[in-house]
């Protein structure tokens, strides 16, 4: 059986905030606003336990420090749509911090290098931004679930190991800098499946020769589905 295409997603399966799931066992696609501090798997596990259904998955991981739209798939035929949802473009809003680098490229690990950012100008930021529009090649973070030699990279990273990671082709459809205060730059990105926003923050810092890491991230949309339509996790669990 071939994977469903995005156009094949039945809208009647979509359940956002205020739409109480009527037939969870028959398959439902839940739009959830993932809170900061939990993993995507934590959300899936809590939905599984509250719904009393074993077959539950999601369509696109969010890091623990990230918030925003997580699509949770409960029972068939919803779980069969995973690849269709995964292919949809993603939209994020976030903040990167210039002048500081971390091993994970976000705030989950400690700062290991600092650089003076005082010479930077708005023109420098704009010139760096334009390098990361369109189709680009991106190296996945060591702290990621990518497998090399049969093992997740984050497991190697936690042992202090670093291995060469082949770059991957991703697409940045829009990359807008929306604010700059002190060392923090806010941004909005629309991108393809497989894009690491942490790697984008790292690469912008490298282009500016001062380093950078991600300090905040929120996924606001997946294709036509918005986080404004999503359940809070606690409200959803109350109705399952």
Active site residues: 63
Query: In terms of DSSP H, where are the helices of the chain?
Result: 40-51, 82-86, 122-130, 153-158, 197-208, 233-239
DSSP tag of 116: -
Query: The tokens of 77 are what?
Result: 């035929």
Give, in order, the Cα–Cα distances in Å from 19 to each of 29, 47, 85, 176, 240.
11, 16, 20, 33, 11
**Interatomic CA distance for residues 19 and 165, integer angstroms:** 43
Please report how many Cα atoms fall inside a 13 Å half-sphere around the Cα of residue 226, on the Cβ side: 2
CB 166 within 8 A of CB 137: no
């Amino acid at each position: 059986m071939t994977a469903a295409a995005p156009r094949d997603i039945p809208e009647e399966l979509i359940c956002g905030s205020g739409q109480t799931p009527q037939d969870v066992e028959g398959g439902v696609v839940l739009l959830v606003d993932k809170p900061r501090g939990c993993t995507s798997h934590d959300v899936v596990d809590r939905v599984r336990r509250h719904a009393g259904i074993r077959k539950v998955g999601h369509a696109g991981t969010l890091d623990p420090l990230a918030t925003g739209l997580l699509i949770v798939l409960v029972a068939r035929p919803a779980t069969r749509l995973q690849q269709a949802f995964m292919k949809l473009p993603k939209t994020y809003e976030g903040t990167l911090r210039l002048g500081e680098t971390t091993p994970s490229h976000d705030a989950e690990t400690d700062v290991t290098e600092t650089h003076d950012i005082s010479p930077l100008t708005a023109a420098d930021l704009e010139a760096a931004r334009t390098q990361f529009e369109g189709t680009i090649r991106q190296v996945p973070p060591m702290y990621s679930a990518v497998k090399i030699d049969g093992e997740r990279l984050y497991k190697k990273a936690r042992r202090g190991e670093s291995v060469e990671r082949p770059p991957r082709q991703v697409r940045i459809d829009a990359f807008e800098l929306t604010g700059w205060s002190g060392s923090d730059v806010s941004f909005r990105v629309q991108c393809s499946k497989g894009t690491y926003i942490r790697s984008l923050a790292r690469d912008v810092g490298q282009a500016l020769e001062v380093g950078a890491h991600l300090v905040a991230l929120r996924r606001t949309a997946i294709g036509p589905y918005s986080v404004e339509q999503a359940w809070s996790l606690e409200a959803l669990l109350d109705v399952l």
